[in-house]
Each structure stands twice: as C-alpha cells, then as structure tokens.
Amino acid sequence: MIRRLLVSAVVAGPLLGAVGCKHKCCRSDDPLPRPFLPSGTANMPPAGVPVTPGSANVPWVGPGNLPPPDFGPAGPAPAGGPAREPLLPDPLPGSSSSRRLAPAPGAAAGVLGGPMKGPAGQTPEPPIANKVARPATTAEVAGLPGFTKIKDRVATGRKPALEGFDALKRTGYRAVVYLHPAGADTSAAREVAEKRGLSFVAVETTPEKLPAAYDAVTAAIGEKAARPVYVFDDDGLRTGAVWYLYFRTVDLENAEVSRIRARAVGLTDAGDEPRAFWAAIRQYLATR
C-alpha cells in the first residue's frame, strides 16, 4: 500500500509541473507586480539625466499639473512686460517694517506732498498785509453799553465808561464821535479820549441841526485813515436818528427795515423829542 502511494506521487509530480499553477501569485502574465516582489519599473531617472518639473521623471509633478509656487527673489522682466516684484504683506502700524517703509524726512508725501509746517509743528497762517487789530464785539467789551457794529470798522453805542475807552484803544479804534445835545459839556469826554490817543469829534445833534449832524458823521466815518470809528451819544436817540438817515440814503434800505435797524440802536417813537426827530427825518428825506 505504501509502495503504491509513493509510485503515484512520483508519477503525479512531473504531470503537475508540465501543466503549471493557475493561481494569481504564480502567473507571469499579470501586469501588476506581486506585493512581495520589487516592481518591474523604476520611478527614479537614470544617472546623469536632469530632473525637470512637469516631466515624466518626477512622479509628483505630472505633465498636466501646476508647478510649485515661486517664493524666490524677483527675477528678470518677462519679454515685453514690467519687472517682477516680490509680493510682500502690508506692514503693521507701528511695526519696524512700517517705519522702514515711511518716507524719509524731507521727501514728498504723495503727489501733492504733506502740509507745510511752521514753528512747533503748526501750519502757518497765510500772510495778511497791513493787518489791523480786530474791532471788539459786544461780548468782549466792558464799559461800552449798547455796542453795535454798523459796518466794517464802524460801530455805535452809548457813552463809554473809562474801561470802555480803554477797550476801544486796545482793540484798534482810532476815533470817537460824540453826538451831544445843545449846550452839553464835552470837555471831560474829550480829555479821556485824547489821553488814550483817540481822535475826538463832538457834534451837536438836535432836530433842527440833524442835516448838519448827519453830514459830520458821514464825513468822520468816510475817512479810512481815521477808522475804526465809534459813534456814541447819551441815550441812543441821536445816534438812532442819524443812522436811520444813513440806512435810507447810503444802504438804500426801505423805511421798515431802516426803522427796525435804527430802533435797535436807540431810536424811539414816544415822547416830544423823538417825535421832533422823526419830523426832521421826514423833512430831510423829502428834500432828497
């Protein structure tokens, strides 16, 4: 029995070798390499062959793939195009990179350049030729009751106190015109004004002399060398009458507007003296 089995094995061995194994692990026509055997193709190029991105010799960069990004320094300009510049991130405010990118002292900032700086880093004012001290305003002046600006460098109001004369001088006024009733003593006011270097003009102003008073006031404020001028009286009635004529004949305002403006500086309607002034005003305008 044993001899018969041995004879069968000896005979079957050559037969199996002739037919061959049909299993995948032993097939030589399989295109894929066996996992436990080295691949039949090599990915590395032969020695001496240059490796170029995008060629078949580099498996991770195929012919259809993009090349890796270029972070190197700027290269030469392409044909017909501007020079290549490296893209840098924007500098953070206050960082060393922002300080390096800031323009050098004295260099122009932008197309128009930076603002001009004067002493202590301030922008200088444009020069003003023949600059004159700015006339005072009501909020700034003490001792000038009823102070009102009539026109450029001409103001009116009540009789100034001592500090009012000081304020007029300090703010650049050069002359004062006093409209006083008949028989008034003007020597004290003249002395105070002239002591402070102010030109003093006294004008008697009554209903009968209203035309002459008006001419004297227009002549005083018409002298540019004498301005700024301050025209005043005791209660506003005389200055109001004179300014009403000025608003009608010089500013060419209508009767209602002129009345409102003259009332603001002291002209009233009630009383014998105001009515006398209104009669003189109508008579003057009737002859114009």
Residue 27 within any structural domain of the chain: no
Residue 186 within any structural domain of the chain: yes
Phi, psi of 180 (to 5 degrees): -120, 155
Residue 129 within any structural domain of the chain: no
pLDDT value for 229: 97
Q: How many domains is the chain partitioned into structurally?
A: 1
pLDDT value for 34: 52
Where are any strands of DSSP class E within the chain?
148-151, 154-158, 175-180, 199-204, 229-233
Burial environment of residue 274 by CB neighbours within 10 A (0 to 12, 13 to 18, 19 or more):
middle
Using an 8 Å Cβ cutoff, are 197 and 170 in contact?
no
Structure tokens at 41: 């193709």
Q: What is the CATH number of the domain that holds 205?
A: 3.90.190.10
Structure tokens at 248: 């009608």
pLDDT value for 91: 57
Predicted TM-score (pTM) of the model is 0.53
pLDDT value for 288: 84
165 Cβ contact partners less than 8 Å away, ≥ 6 residues apart: 143, 176, 192, 193, 196, 198
Residue 230 within any structural domain of the chain: yes
pLDDT value for 22: 55
Structure tokens at 187: 């020597």
Residue 274 within any structural domain of the chain: yes
Residue 226 within any structural domain of the chain: yes
Q: Which residues of the chain have pLDDT under 50?
A: 36-37, 40, 42, 54-65, 71, 98, 100-101, 107-112, 123, 125-140
